[in-house]
Amino acid sequence: TQLLEQSPQFLSIQEGENLTVYCNSSSVFSSLQWYRQEPGEGPVLLVTVVTGGEVKKLKRLTFQFGDARKDSSLHITAAQPGDTGLYLCAGRRSGGSNYKLTFGKGTLLTVNP
């Protein structure tokens, strides 16, 4: 059972376009993280959201955590070729196993010049 569903799985857009990636679950998470992974490298943390309804901005990237802490979105404005990569969301549960991250399958983004 995939606890975190990401959509779309693949996204190919032109430079300058806007896009939104979604991460959905039926489970509640104490926090949710977004990572970007490039070929041959490990995932790199972009942001952590912990409060329901929280919005965080990182330059052209806007992250939102759902009010019920079950879903999240990543919006990129005016995408650039350097944004190309695999975007992964990962949720952390509260309680004794809060060290464990549950990952979605990722959204592979290609931004064409």
Rounded distance, CA 42 to CA 64, Å? Answer: 23
Rounded distance, CA 28 to CA 39, Å? Answer: 31
Q: Which of 28, 45, 58, 78 binds other proteins (CB under 8 A)?
A: 45
Q: Between 79 and 90, whose beta carbon lies closer to other proteins?
A: 90
Q: Which of 21, 25, 29, 43 binds other proteins (CB under 8 A)?
A: 43
Q: Of how many residues is the chain composed?
A: 113
Q: Between 37 and 84, whose beta carbon lies closer to other proteins?
A: 37
**Considering only CA atoms, which of 100, 80, 81, 82 is closest in space to residue 90?**
100
22 forms part of the interface with other proteins (CB under 8 A): no
42 forms part of the interface with other proteins (CB under 8 A): yes
57 forms part of the interface with other proteins (CB under 8 A): no
44 forms part of the interface with other proteins (CB under 8 A): yes
Task: Measure the CA dihedral 98/100/9/53, to 10°.
Answer: 10
For 110, residues 6+ apart whose C-beta sits below 8 A from its C-beta are 10, 11, 12, 13, 84
What minimum distance in Å lies between the beta carbon of 49 and other proteins? 11
Residue ranges in contact with other proteins by CB under 8 A = 2, 4, 6, 30-31, 40-45, 48, 50, 88, 90, 92, 97-106
